[in-house]
Chain A
Amino acid sequence: MEIFAQQIFNGLTVGSVYSLVALGLTLVYGILHIPNFAHGALYMMGGYITLTMMTKFGLYYWIAIMISMVIVGLMGVLMERFIFYPLRDAPPIQDKIAAIGILLFLEAFAQFVWGADYQTMPTPYGQVVSVMGLTFTMQRLLIIISTVVVMILLFLFLKKTFIGSAIIAMSQNREGAHLVGINTNKMAMLTFMISGALAAIAASLSSPINLVFPGMGHLVILKAFVIIIIGGMGSIPGAIIGGYILGFAESLGATYISNDYKDIFAFILLVLILTFKPTGLFAKGGHS
């Protein structure tokens, strides 16, 4: 029972990170209908920038995360402006390949600047806490709490502010939003900014338990794709629920089935889902 509870807790931690990454991905997909293959590279950059801010400039953890969010957000904006915007009318195969180009570049760039070694990120929340027979580090608890806070803030932003509603309107119908006077270009840039910031915070939160290295985004982005397919491409609640489902499936699978193959569960889940529902679960209607 104790192991089970511990694994549920681990699943919650892992799921939180996945949800944050998937949220960024699903927001962009909702607006531009492109799967951003370079999102994992943004995640990786987020981890490295936070690490550099902490070790090179000696900044406090949270300030480093803030800076990282801004920088990665701006990288997202640049990507939208220089790559996805010019390709908006191109055949769908092209923006995928363009994103792959960015991914390759950013990974080589990270390796060039920071080296290929695995690096650990220091955290001010290293203490071990034990509650009701469960032991966990503060960092893990922090991941869960911060994720919930970020999700609530994002929800309030999207539902309660004018700009947020504009983004939602745009994801429902781009032309319609344009017609009622929403500046779709600005909104697309803003969405990329939020998406990059979400990737940065996810990476910064998970790095102290996972390590920072150039290929750290590979698996995460693949799983994030799995999540947004499970949750419906472009659906925000879907990304959150999907993230936690995958988190639980993985941590329980690793304990009770096989630790070696724990990364494979997500993909088998996806292969099964797409086998029976080629457009994914909870696919939103009205999009083509």
Chain B
Amino acid sequence: MPLLTLATFLPILGGLALMALPDRSARMAHGISIGVTGVTFLITLAIWSRGIVAGDFAQVEEVAWIPAIGAAYRLGLDGLSLPLVLLTSLLFLLSAIYSARIGERAASYVVLMLMLETASLGTFMALDGLLFYVFFEVSLVGMYFMIAGWGYEERQRAALMFFLYTLLGSLPLLLAIIGLYLGSGTFDMRAWIDAPPLTGLAAMLALIAMFITFAVKIPVFPVHTWLPAAHVQAPTAGSVILAGVMLKFGTYGLVRFALQMTPEAFAQAGQVILAFGVVAALYGAFAALAQSDLKKMIAYTSVNHMGYVVIGVAVAALSLDPGIRTIALDGATLQMVSHGLVTGALFFLVGMLQDRAHSREMSDFGGLLGRVPWLGWAFILSAFASLGLPGLAHFPAEFQIFLATLNAAPWAIVAILAIVVTAGLYLRAIAAVFLGPANEKWADMPDLDRREKLAVVPLLILTILVGVAPGWLIGMIHTTMAALSF
């Protein structure tokens, strides 16, 4: 059974079915949404159970598309994409559960969400350059309408900025893909990885083009400015998907395209890319420290966390020791997953707080822990995970990244300073919102209901599981990374 194709297109087919139904009530829409994302999640679990192989792509599905130019519909998986696929299908399921309260134009909302899921899964599984680009761009359209239609006060401006910025950002990738095609005569990404078609200056130009695209997506300082605007205005589930899934397009592409398809150029430019990563990590942390808006703060910590991923990938390219390379890439990939789990939970929780209080300003709150213990403790747990506490999801990832950094490019270890800053800002946020004197205004704030617990608790469990026993996840990643030759 072509499970990969099934998982990719089931969501959009569900969306089309919903559009064709005569009954497009909110109830019906959310029922379909949860059902379809649930089944998709189960399919990705089945894909996981089929396993991956070392040194190659597993479960490849291929159908001719435009044979004349060597473009085909090609899907496949390895240890880099499989964890991200699982993360994607889980986050979409939880977002569907969380979104069940949305009544305003629910059917359109659900169709967009399902379209986004198809685009996201396709981006991670595509093995054809043109197909990858198709999925990559469709996600922009979906997210634009999501922000413009269901966002907060300044949504039109934020959505427009997001769309123009990321379209401008992603077009250089198309240039690089065309270049790779002209160098090889095919759009097959496996061929590009096995025998990088470009060398010398052409490879460096392609790398620069790809880095621009992925840097905007990750996002890396100084092209991160779309992120806070988009996050703050996006609806909660949109923020979760944007941070949890779509930022990973950037880091995934950095490994899959930049590192694997132009390895020599990447090694030459390694120090520069590393510097971008270090600056992003530090800048993200300090910028987050300056925020009083909870959502903006979490958005900036994303810049910080994704900066670590860039550091990990750059270190892997710089290191000559295969052992260190593997550790760096294991850490970077794990960091992508951890960030999805932890930041996903944090955005959900801030969204729940905003649903209740219609505010995200830290100073508006105080002493909420006694009022809403579920929400409070869930936030505290996720915040601790986000600041890198041992035993929680980010620790094993960041530990491996810094270990490899210390070995290959010791100067970059200054980025560890960012961990201290993040610790400070999260403790400050916890103190301001959940501790201290209780604000009487929120005396009757209700705690999490069943739907909200259902959306958040799985992420908390996984945060602890990945922190305490990351072996199952690292094993999957390691299978591929240890066999990677570039």
Real complex partners, A and B? Answer: no
Chain A contact residues, CB within 8 Å of chain B: none
